[in-house]
Amino acid sequence: MKAIRHPFSLGSLGKINTTEDSNKVYTDRVLTLLSTLSFGRPMSANYGVDMTRALYENGNEFERAVTEAITRALSTYLPVLRIQRIRFTQPNSSGEASVDIQLDYPDGTAGTFTIGANEFLNDGTIAGDIY
């Protein structure tokens, strides 16, 4: 398996850098999928993670909505990867929280991905954004 290396870069001779490491290819595909919101890609509107329901939830319902969105996206677009667990961290004093996703690659090795976010403040203003 050969693919363009993520993030996109050019080599010293101006050629596009590629990789043949299958786990790197899957890692790049997961990162691309998780960083794309549904309806954000022209001609492939369903590609990505639909987090819209999670935006209006809190607590356990938020975690359930995010888990469902991530599970649905990965099982649809990367069915060869198996989710081992999705774990949420509680927001710290500055409102930062994260979601850790542990996956098994087809060769049996594991990978972990972290999605970070900030919370809304009590007055309704945004403390931060997804990063």
Query: Residue 37: what residue type?
Result: L
Model confidence pLDDT, tens digit, residues 85-118: 999 887 776 667 788 999 999 999 999 988 876 5
Q: How confident is the model at residue 122 (pLDDT cuts 50, 70, 90)?
A: low
**pLDDT tens sequence across 32-57:** 898 888 888 888 888 998 887 777 77
Confidence class for position 68, pLDDT limits 50, 70, 90: very high
Peptide bond into 7 cis (omega under 30): yes
Instruction: Tell me the whole-structure pTM to 2 decimals.
Output: 0.76
Q: What is the mean pLDDT of the chain?
A: 84
Per-residue CA distances from 114 to 77, 80, 87, 106, 124 (Å): 19, 20, 9, 20, 25
Asked whether 42 and 29 are in contact (CB, 8 A), the reply is: no
Other CB atoms within 10 Å distance of the CB of residue 47? 17
Query: Which CATH class, in words, describes the domain spanning 16-118?
Result: alpha beta
Return the number of other C-beta atoms located less than 10 Å from residue 7's C-beta: 8
